[in-house]
């Protein structure tokens, strides 16, 4: 199956690295909105300008779109779905229905297959929530994220005047996780589930007290959380906070009768969020390619993909080896 990577930041590089581990998938090239001459790929794969993508119609089976959810993907995915089968990792939960509709229309009209919101949340964690609620309907589930770097929150801090660089970790509160894991079904406020740790490099002479106050009071991002702010040097940031770990867990507890309670948990501990997300997108691309061959057009999510389609193994091998 011939794969293209459209957008070459952390996620695009993650997809590229994952390709080496999937011998049935082959990288045709990387498409960038930057000057292609300025971009060097990890694997040495060729780099093309984004505008050249159209000339690759017929040479790429699935294009993996590695733009951001805020502004890139709402435009990019429907546009590319008119030319290619596509996969994206759109993760603005509230806007998924409208994104789905736009991509579905574009893909269906042109006979393409698209999958949006691939990755781990949305993605594997969504699947965990779906499977768990289907098999244990009388229950309650909880999702915890972290300890891991939130790029969105890190960016929000960087936009504060006087901030040179920043890294924000989302941290699940251990007591909350333990209560849920014990099957207690507590009511937890936002503040009781996660806390936020911020590491900030201030510009010389900046008002650190004001920066800290601005972070702590920032609506949506920090105001509803217990937030710690630690000022560090640029060298410390580089040395101690350059990785992008993440993870978390989905836990559901519930009953099948008065006497019998069950606890289900799916957890991830990831050294590199973009590499793991990229690896999930490759499995999604494989499924999209298979569905396309079967004549399934329009938009899908991981909810609609038969698990077998994500694997390079045949149905017979899967039943024999993994069932």
Residue 159 binds a second copy, judged by CB under 8 A:
no
Cα–Cα dist 265/252, whole Å:
6
Distance separating the N- and C-terminal Cα atoms of the chain: 26
To the nearest whole angstrom, how small is the minimum distance from the Cβ of residue 284 to a second copy? 9
Piece of the chain touching a second copy by CB under 8 A; list 45-53, 105-113, 172-180, 266-274: 266-274
Residue 30 binds a second copy, judged by CB under 8 A:
no
Regarding beta strands 148-149 and 163-172, do their DSSP bridges make them parallel or antiparallel, or are they unpaired? antiparallel
Q: Could you give the string, one character per residue 108-127, with x where binding to a second copy holds by CB under 8 A and - elsewhere?
A: ---------x----x-x-xx
Q: Could you give the string, one character per residue 133-152, with x where binding to a second copy holds by CB under 8 A and - elsewhere?
A: xxxxxx--------------
Contacts of 32 (CB under 8 A, 6+ apart): 7, 8, 39, 47, 48, 49, 50
Piece of the chain touching a second copy by CB under 8 A; list 26-34, 105-113, 187-195, 280-288: 280-288
Give the start-end residues of each E strand in 112-175. 113-115, 139-145, 148-149, 163-172
Residue 131 binds a second copy, judged by CB under 8 A:
yes
Instruction: Note the Cα 128 to chain centre separation in Å.
Output: 15
Cα–Cα dist 175/56, whole Å:
52
Alpha-carbon distance values, 90 to 66, 68, 86, 172 (Å): 9, 7, 12, 23
Residue 283 binds a second copy, judged by CB under 8 A:
yes
Number of neighbouring beta carbons within 10 Å of residue 217:
11
Position among 202, 276, 285, 290 found at the interface with a second copy (CB under 8 A): 276
Positions in 293-322 near a second copy (CB under 8 A): 301-308, 310-312, 315-316, 318-320, 322
| Interacting residues with a second copy (CB under 8 A) | 14, 17-18, 21-22, 93, 96-97, 100, 117, 122, 124, 126-131, 133-138, 256-257, 259-272, 275-276, 278-280, 283, 286, 301-308, 310-312, 315-316, 318-320, 322-323
């Amino acid at each position: 199956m011939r794969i293209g990577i459209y957008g070459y930041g952390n996620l695009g590089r993650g997809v590229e690295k994952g390709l080496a581990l999937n011998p049935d998938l082959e990288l045709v090239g990387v498409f960038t909105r930057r000057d292609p001459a300025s971009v060097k790929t990890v694997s040495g794969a060729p780099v093309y300008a984004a505008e050249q993508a159209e000339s690759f119609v017929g040479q790429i089976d699935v294009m993996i779109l590695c733009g951001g959810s805020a502004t890139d993907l709402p435009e990019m995915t429907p546009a590319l779905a008119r030319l290619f089968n596509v996969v994206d990792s759109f993760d603005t939960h509230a806007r998924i229905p409208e994104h789905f509709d736009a991509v579905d229309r574009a893909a269906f009209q042109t006979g393409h297959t698209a999958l949006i919101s691939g990755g781990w949340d949305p993605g594997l964690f969504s699947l965990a929530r779906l499977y768990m609620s289907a098999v244990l309907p009388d229950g309650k589930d909880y999702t915890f994220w972290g300890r891991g770097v939130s790029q969105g929150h890190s960016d929000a801090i960087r936009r504060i005047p006087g901030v040179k660089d920043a890294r924000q970790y989302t941290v699940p509160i251990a007591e909350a996780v333990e209560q849920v894991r014990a099957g207690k079904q507590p009511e937890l406020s936002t503040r009781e589930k996660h806390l936020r740790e911020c590491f900030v490099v201030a510009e010389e002479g900046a008002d650190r007290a004001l920066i800290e106050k601005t972070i702590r009071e920032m609506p949506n991002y920090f105001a509803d959380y217990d937030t710690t702010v630690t000022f560090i040097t640029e060298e410390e940031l580089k040395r101690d906070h350059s990785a992008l770990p993440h993870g978390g867990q989905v836990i559901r507890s519930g009953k099948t009768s008065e006497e019998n309670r069950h606890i289900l948990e799916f957890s991830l501990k990831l050294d590199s969020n973009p590499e793991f997300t990229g690896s999930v997108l490759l499995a999604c691309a494989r499924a999209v390619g298979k569905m396309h061959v079967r004549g399934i057009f329009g938009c899908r999510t991981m909810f609609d993909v038969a698990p077998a389609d994500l694997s390079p193994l045949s149905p017979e091998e899967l039943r024999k080896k993994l069932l």
